[in-house]
Chains A and B, each alone.
Chain A
Amino acid sequence: MMAPRGRILATRFGLNPNSSSLGVDVTFLLVGAAALSIFTPVIGALLRLKRREPAGE
């Protein structure tokens, strides 16, 4: 049996330089869910292409 593919739950884009709060990029709020649906598989593919380096090591 094939292992389940799994899913991306959420994506936070960009870096937050502001040292007083956590900003969120609102670009996708403007372009909508459809655009994000197209972009999400690309993010997934990029993740799988990269070799893993555990955070905290």
Chain B
Amino acid sequence: MAEKEVGQTSIWGRLLAWAVLLGLLGLVAIQLGRSQRGMLTRGEPAPSFTLTTFEGTEIGSEDMMGKVVLVNFWASWCKPCEQEAEALQTAWEQYEGRDDVLFLGVDYVDTEKEALAYLERWDITYPNGPDLGTQIYYAFRARGVPETFIINKLGEIAFVKIGPFQGLEELTAVVDRLLEP
């Protein structure tokens, strides 16, 4: 009788150990799956996010609906970001009057003082804000800066640029194509 009880305890112990082990393996698998998903690609729905600008204005999904939205990840310490700063601002000045285009600058892992100095240096006027908690960066599964995601009017990722735009034409060609009826 005692032996039977010991045997049953042993079985339950083993089952518990296996359950814990499988649970842990499951967690590892989920984490690995998440990290191996890679970047957002064309056609995928864009993640919803809210950007609070340096001025305190909140820009959320409702403000982006039905618009071509350019999301540019940058940082003041990022030298390659400077290569495209002028092109981005010039492009924004071309589209600023339209109500179907929105440019958003997402400041990644940066300090506010230097970020504001950067915006002033490059005369950037489109909405920019810090990526609080690095949440937007992770939502877009970005890999560094500069990186730019252009979202079409349907809310899908239409274009991904890793690294700086080579010039204004490269940038406007994409936005213009997405604005075509």
A interacts with B: no
